[in-house]
Chains A and B, each alone.
Chain A
Amino acid sequence: MEFNFLQSLPAIAPEIGLTVMAVVVLLLDVYLPESKRRNVGFVAGFGMLATAAAYFLLWAPTPETQGLYWGGNIRHDTLAEIFKIMVLIAGAITCFIGVDAKSLARRGEFFLIIIVSSLGATLMAGATDLIMVILALETTTIPLYVLAAFRRDDKRSAESGMKYFLFGSFASAILLYGISLLYGFTGHTNLYDIAAFLSTAAFSSNAAPVMISIALIITGFGFKISAVPFHFWTPDVYEGAPTPVTAFLSVASKAASFSLLVRFFLAVFPLGLVIDGLTISSFWMQTVAVLAIVSMTFGNLIALWQKNIKRMLAYSSIAQAGYILMGVAALSTESGTSVAAIGFYLFMYTFTNLLAFGVIVYFSEATGSENIRDLAGLSRRNPMLALAFTIALLSLAGIPPAAGFFGKFFLFQAAVEANLTWLAIIGVLNAIVALYYYLVVIKVMYVDHGDYEEMEIPVSRAGGAVLAVASLAVVLLGTILTTPFFEWAARGAEALFRIVQG
């Protein structure tokens, strides 16, 4: 494999853009006077959007350029493209809503850390080497620990940061141990080389070590995507972290982790890999199916009792992780429907969750409250904000015309195609339970009367524009843009299944 520098650059174009922006934002933060520092957030946000647009238009992978680059460390393909653009959009929207959070806006380093974390998440989307995988994972997570504890004056933020750090690095250490075993038993770090070695005769009678490393790696990933029973950090961290940070970590790190999970398991333990008479792929798929059921059921049932809106969304995100894991469990068909469904679901989930948390940012900045009860009468205090929140909640609940309907539909379809109809039925039952707590919030906003009916909730012009764009995206993804996006995701799935060497 010869190395061509210029041909390798497009594979890391978003990462280069983000690195340049990190330096620019750092300098702006130093040299801009305090009164103008709010603009740093806009520079960061527009810079990330520009990076995404340039990558999409100029350096997107084509069937000719897809493949492994940088010594087999990075895979340049359509699936990576989808997840990289998803992360960049999530980072940009977070910067825009972070500008209006008073405790964060005048501190340029907030945007710097968001950019660095996004850099790690984009690398995760394309990583195909064990070293790259852990490096990208840590580049994403370590800045997130800092972000969760960003408001040092706030006791709850510091506590949230500490809990996130302790649980997160515990999970990383477990994952690393699993990965070190995998390296040791195979002697390779490239995911495709490992898969090739595992299928050779030298390994045909050694299932136990592979099982142990799979179990350790699933535990590590389970923490990152907050699947039950590795979820216990999620509600506390989501509640305590500054709301824009919660928004970011609930979408960017989760989306990147899922893309890595799918790529990692399909590459290292491909379908039909048999060691010592055991079909390895069905072992991890069955484990994932169990995690999916437990996450969906537990997340939805606990969410019913929540009084704090951020905590409720935390349990809701645990349940959403369960739905997506259902797609991972359905990977056994080579048609790629389930990868496409996962891609589509995460894309619409990015917009939906950012929209929901964006509304909470403006609501709690104005009222200082995060209780569901205090949302009473929001439809009269700020009808547009209530409408945006309604769209987000309908999408999370999976009601058309919001995008969540098709997102869930594709996942259930993939499960049925993979002969997991019982799993799809559990998913549908869960979606019905979830409907209750989402609709209760809508009822509180539109019907209930609260104590602060006259209190205005101001939304800055930029914030209004961002929320409007996100709402529009959620509705369009659920109506006219469904087919083009699903086809894009299906191309990504196809690229993932095509094994490319060199």
Chain B
Amino acid sequence: MTVPLWMYLLVSAAVFCIGVYGVLSRRNAVAILMSLELMLSAVNINLIAFWRYGAPSDITGQVFASFVFVIAAAEAAVGLAIIIAVYRSRGSVVVEDVNLLRG
């Protein structure tokens, strides 16, 4: 029995929704970053599933997914650096405590 494409897409959509929920509901910046990574993983599941079931001889989907890896890594590196900078100046990474700018 082979797994049909729609199952992969369903998993991907679920992972994406969990990620969105995490970004919107979490208060710790590191947890938000983890949720963002979930969203990007959902994108990769999509890309690879579409590639495998669509046109496996065409390498585009794989290339696309590897670029998404690179982007996720770059975002995580910069994001963690910024979160550390905030932690050093505030002693907290809870988003609600970081609130000098408002109006």
A residues near B (Cβ < 8 Å) are 130-131, 134-135, 138, 142, 145-146, 149, 152-156, 158-163, 165-166, 169-170, 172-174, 176-177, 180-181, 183-184, 187-189, 235-236, 239-240, 306-308, 311
Contacts and interface: CB of A to CB of B under 8 A. Distances in A.
Contacts of A156: 100-101
A173 B47 contact: no
B38 to A, nearest CB: 9
Nearest to B9: A184
Given A177-B42, A183-B61, A311 B103 contact: yes
B88 A176 contact: no
Given A158-B85, A177-B43, A235-B103, A166 B67 contact: no
Given A169-B36, A173-B36, A183-B64, A162 B46 contact: no
Contacts of B29: 162, 166
28 contacts: A131-B60, A135-B67, A138-B74, A138-B75, A145-B78, A152-B85, A153-B89, A155-B90, A156-B100, A156-B101, A158-B82, A161-B86, A162-B82, A162-B86, A162-B98, A165-B79, A166-B23, A166-B32, A169-B79, A170-B39, A174-B20, A177-B39, A177-B43, A183-B50, A184-B46, A188-B60, A306-B103, A311-B103
Given A131-B63, A142-B78, A146-B78, A236 B102 contact: yes
Contact of B75 (A158, A169, A183, A184): A169
A22 to B, nearest CB: 16
A188 B29 CA distance: 36
Given A159-B100, A173-B43, A165 B78 contact: yes
Contacts of B23: 166, 170
Contact of B36 (A130, A170, A308): A170
A174 B74 CA distance: 17
Contacts of B83: 162
A311 B103 CA distance: 9
Given A158-B86, A183-B50, A172 B75 contact: yes
A136 to B, nearest CB: 11
A235 B103 CA distance: 9
Contacts of A177: 16, 39, 42-43, 46
Contact of A149 (B19, B82, B103): B82
A239 B64 CA distance: 36
B50 A187 contact: yes
B74 A142 contact: yes
Nearest to A180: B46
Chief secondary structure at chain B's binding surface? helix
Interface in B70-96: 71, 74-75, 78-79, 81-83, 85-86, 88-90, 95
B1 to A, nearest CB: 23
A159 B101 CA distance: 8
Contacts of A169: 36, 75, 79
Given A146-B82, A162-B98, A169-B36, 19 more contacts: A134-B67, A135-B67, A149-B86, A154-B89, A155-B89, A155-B90, A158-B82, A159-B99, A161-B85, A165-B75, A166-B79, A166-B95, A169-B79, A172-B75, A173-B40, A176-B40, A180-B64, A183-B64, A240-B101
B40 A159 contact: no
Contacts of B98: 159, 162-163
A161 B83 CA distance: 9
B47 to A, nearest CB: 5
B103 A184 contact: no
B18 interface: no
A308 B54 contact: no
A145 B79 contact: yes
B4 to A, nearest CB: 14
Contacts of B102: 236
B50 A184 contact: yes
Contacts of B82: 145-146, 149, 158, 161-162, 165
Contacts of B86: 149, 158-159, 161-162
Nearest to B79: A165
B45 to A, nearest CB: 9
B54 A138 contact: no
Nearest to A175: B43
A147 to B, nearest CB: 11
Nearest to A152: B85
Contacts of A146: 78, 81-82
A135 B63 CA distance: 12
Nearest to A145: B78
